[in-house]
Amino acid sequence: MKNITVIGSGTMGNGIAHTFALHGYSVSLVDLNEQALTKAIDIIQRNLDRQISKSKLTENEKIATLNNITTFTDLKGAVAEADLVIEAATENEAVKSRLFNELDDLCADATILASNTSSISITQLASNTKRPDKVIGMHFMNPVPMMQLVEVIRGYRTSEAVTITIFTLAAKLQKTPVIVQDYPGFIANRILMPMINEAIYSLYEGVAGVMEIDTVMKLGMAHPMGPLQLADFIGLDVCLAILKVLHEGFGNSKYAPCPLLTNMVAAGHLGKKSTIGFYDYRQSDAKELIVASRFSNSRF
């Protein structure tokens, strides 16, 4: 594999593009408009500079990485030479399904189609194509350049050859790939999201405050980040979407999203990306986390 197309230039998409380009692959990065792509390249450049400041990268490696990325707003042109297309669009099944249907028509027969989805069925996405054997999940963790894990999700009809190819490719990126089967939430989010949801329920029911809940999990369970802060970083809308997939997929009430989470998403308090979630991120230079004013007391 030499030519990789990444669809979506948001947090995950630009991180995936960064990682492949850093390892010498030719990357076509696609988004709907030039402004989003310009922002993505700027983020990649700043992240590369951060790696240089930590002596993990040289200036020449940074230049080579950026030269390996070409941006597109035209999907057809971006996938024309692709050996692998990785979809990193919004976590919405209808959007992804339409995209896979379109990719099936635009891509060469040998092209592998992968999704970076964190919970949506690979088998369902593959059903929108005439190549279900060549559709697979490639779930990177955020931030992609730093996190080692890649969940390789095998759909119901994904071939053994494609599974091995993607597993090997992830290893070439100096990641640790883990093969999992295609069931709601896979492994990472099937375990993580109920924990985050329970933390939100604990806040909702007044058991403890935001900082107290996160402190218990950091100091008591040796988690590097508390579940409420982690939810803010993931995006509360993404957490809600994944919980809905789990709840619908398993039909089990233990996956039902906490009403507080539902209300926060409806109010547009999505976490770090909206500057307000369980914490307040508007003071970007703050040295300590600031609990959002709504949650400044244990009861609210």
What does the block give as tokens for 184?
A: 């709601």
Is the separation of the CB atoms in 281 and 275 below 8 Å? yes
d(CA 230, CA 214): 9
Catalytic residue among 116, 128, 189, 197: 189
As given in the structure block, the two tokens for residue 6 are 């990444």
Q: Is 118 a catalytic residue?
A: yes
10 Å CB burial of residue 45 (0-12, 13-18, 19+) is middle
Two tokens, residue 28? 């076509």
Among residues 118, 119, 121, 128, which one is catalytic?
118
The verdict on whether omega for the bond into residue 143 sits within 30 degrees of 0, i.e. cis, is yes
Choose the catalytic residue: 139, 197, 247, 269.
Answer: 139
189 is catalytic: yes
Q: Which residues contact 287 (CB under 8 A, 6 or more apart)?
A: none
Candidate list 28, 151, 202, 269, residue with the active-site label: 151
Q: Is 151 a catalytic residue?
A: yes
Those residues with Cβ within 8 angstroms of residue 148's Cβ, 6 or more apart along the chain or in another chain: 141, 174, 175, 176
Where in the sequence numbering do the catalytic residues fall?
A: 118, 139, 151, 189
